Amino acid sequence: MRALIQRVTEASVTIDQSVYSQISKGLLILVGIENTDTQEDIDWMVKKITLMRIFKNQDEKMNNSILDVQGELLVVSQFTLHASTKKGNRPSFIKAAHPDLAIPLYEKFVNECASAITTKTGVFGANMKVALVNDGPVTIWLESKNRE
């Protein structure tokens, strides 16, 4: 499982010219499910995201988690995070999970996030327009397989 996490002051998902979901202070999480992902990957990712200290405290140091600041999550599925550009000029997405596997794992990930903090989503497989105001900017890449 891969995630690109962006600390935001606001973010939204628009589908068919209509805002589907939006958050204020929090994290925009673009998440890609790999064909070898399991519940263990979800558990690690949720714990890492919710406890990661990337929000400023009263001393302006990144020492608070999303839970500490009572922010929100906006989780958007994005299979292109598993693009391989090793050969040629057209990316391969062979490592990205097929929807039969990806959708249930994505939904489990969202549900586990939602059990800890306010979580909103896009629509799996939809053509979405994602807008954000990156705060910092703070952008972090996570991979559950490498635990980094």
- Strands 72-77 vs 119-121: parallel, antiparallel or unpaired: parallel
Which one of the listed residues 80, 118, 121, 139 is annotated catalytic? 80
- State how far Cα 105 lies from the chain centre: 13
What values do phi and psi take at 136, rounded to 5? 130, -70
Active site residue 50: no
Distance CA 52, CA 90 (A): 34
- Reading the block at residue 47, the tokens are 């714990």
Residue 31 CB neighbour total at 10 angstroms? 26
Active site residues: 80
